[in-house]
Amino acid sequence: MINLIIRKVLNDYVAFINDFKHQFSPNMEEFEKKSSRNRSGHIDELKYQFHGAGCRLEKDGVICEFDFMPANEYSIKFCLWKMREFILTNKAYGIVKLEEPELHEVLHTLVEDGTLVKLVLGSVVWEIYQI
C-alpha cells in the first residue's frame, strides 16, 4: 500500500517542512541564525523544537522530523525512522502499521529514479535521504 501513496507522502512531508520554514523565516540564512536562538516554540498550532542539526515539528498529532545539516544543495534530509514517524502519525494515510524494510524498499526506488538522493560524506554513503 505504501508504494501507491509514497509520492503523495513525500510531497506532504516537504510541504509541511517548507510551510514551517516560511513561517519561521523565509530567508534560509536568517532561518539558520534564528533557529540557533529560538530552539523551541509555537507558530499558531505548530509546535517546533530544534535539536542538533534537526528539527521536530508537531501539528494536529502529526510528527515531522527533518535535518538540515550538513549544508548542501538539498535543504531537507531525513532517515527512514523520521519518514516512518510522519506516515504513522498522519491519520490521512490510514496506515497503522509499517515495517521498516517495506519503507526502505520504497525509498530505495525513489533514490533509483532520482527523486531522492542519499547523503555522501567523503566516500561513505549514509542511510540519509535528501530532497
C-alpha cell at 12: 506532504
Q: How many domains does the chain have?
A: 1
Q: What is the pLDDT of residue 12?
A: 97
Which of 1, 6, 9, 5 shows the shortest CA–CA distance to 108?
A: 6
Task: Give me the tens of pLDDT residue by residue for the chain, a chain 131 residues long.
Answer: 677 799 999 999 999 999 998 888 766 666 666 666 667 888 899 999 988 888 999 999 999 999 988 778 998 999 999 999 999 999 999 999 999 999 999 999 999 999 999 999 999 999 999 99
Please state, in angstroms and rounded to a whole number, the distance separating the CA atoms of residues 10 and 87: 10
Question: What does pTM read for this prediction?
Answer: 0.89
pLDDT tens-digit readout, 105-119: 999 999 999 999 999
> What are 19-41's pLDDT values in tens digits?
998 888 766 666 666 666 667 88
- Model pLDDT, residue 36: 65
What's residue 8's pLDDT?
A: 95
Percent of the chain with pLDDT over 90: 69
Domain that holds residue 123: 2-130
